[in-house]
Amino acid sequence: MADTQTPAIAVPVRHVFAIYWRTWFAQIRSIVEYPADLWVMASAGAVWNILQFAFLAVLFANVPDVAGWGYHEMLLLSGLLSVAGGCNALFWDGAWSTGAMVIKGDIDYRITRPAPVIIQVGSSHIGMQSIGEVVFGVAMMVYGWIGAGIGFAAIPIGVLAIACAAVIQSALVTALCAVNFWIKGQASIFAFLMIELQGNAMKMPLGIFPIAVRLVAMFIVPVAFINFVPVAVVTGHMSAWWLAGIPAAVVGSVLLAAGVYRLGLRAYDSAGH
């Protein structure tokens, strides 16, 4: 199976992006055929964000700050994390199907096509519930940005942070889902564990957690660079030089995802083996 990957790896980058967008728009067209389902899913995606917004409102009605972080700064943390997760579901949700495709042998079909398997898998599904997640996440960020008194000069940093957060999130999810090439299960356990880590730790200031959690989130599974580091920089909790770590985390996460997926494809022996 490994030798069949050579033609796909050599496909020009422009052609790869063209394949991705054709696949993505084809799914969009099929989804909008059922507008009721679309709106239900899009609305459902905002529910968790609304609950998080309410939780923070109740929390800060009783305490002035959390480890020196105020209400609007915490909104920025939650909002950016929601936008990153929503973008992952909206543009790269197919990565979660890796385990099921390995079990069913669906990878066979994608190996024979003249496009990288990782692109075909990543674009194979769209999580439309993420529309509400992204929209409400951006709203939380805007409200938190204004409330925290952050100036217009920092907007380019905010835009860069959103783009980098989406890429890092998608790359880490892809790398952890690719573990299913070896463990042969439909559920992406390691990716779910990462999402659990984010849900429990990355919506709060990282300083309140033990050093082991901070080291893991910063340097082993760099989820801190998705939301904590950029928000800490623009709000003055961290030095500006930490911004250099964000593109480094992007490059490292993308290379990790591509490398693990390629190794997984080499180990892939189709269904029934």
- Measured between alpha carbons, how far is 82 from 203 in angstroms, rounded to an integer? 10
- Measured between alpha carbons, how far is 42 from 36 in angstroms, rounded to an integer? 10
Instruction: Answer whether residue 8 shows pLDDT above 80.
Output: no
Lowest-confidence pick of 108-112, 171-175, 255-259: 108-112
Lowest-confidence pick of 145-154, 183-192, 226-235: 183-192
Residue 271: the pLDDT is 67
Yes or no: say if 257 and 118 are a contact pair by the CB < 8 Å rule. yes
Reported confidence tier of residue 272, pLDDT bands at 50, 70, 90: low
pTM equals 0.88
Residue 53: the pLDDT is 86
Report which secondary-structure segment, H or E, holds 251: helix 245-267
Average pLDDT of span 85-110: 93
Q: What is the pLDDT of residues 14-27, one digit of tens each?
A: 878 888 888 888 88
Average pLDDT of span 40-69: 84
Nearest by Cα to 110 from 17, 19, 18, 12: 19
Q: Is 100 exposed, middle or buried (0-12, 13-18, 19+ CB in 10 A)?
A: middle
Instruction: Answer whether residue 2 shows pLDDT above 50.
Output: no
Q: List the structure tokens of 249.
A: 């985390």
Nearest by Cα to 144 from 54, 74, 233, 59: 74
pLDDT over 70, % of the chain: 95
Q: What is the pLDDT of residues 163-221, one digit of tens each?
A: 999 999 999 999 999 999 999 888 899 999 999 889 888 989 998 999 998 999 999 99
Q: Which amino acid is at 26?
A: A
Report which secondary-structure segment, H or E, holds 91: helix 71-92
Q: Which amino acid is at 138?
A: V
Yes or no: say if 225 and 246 are a contact pair by the CB < 8 Å rule. yes
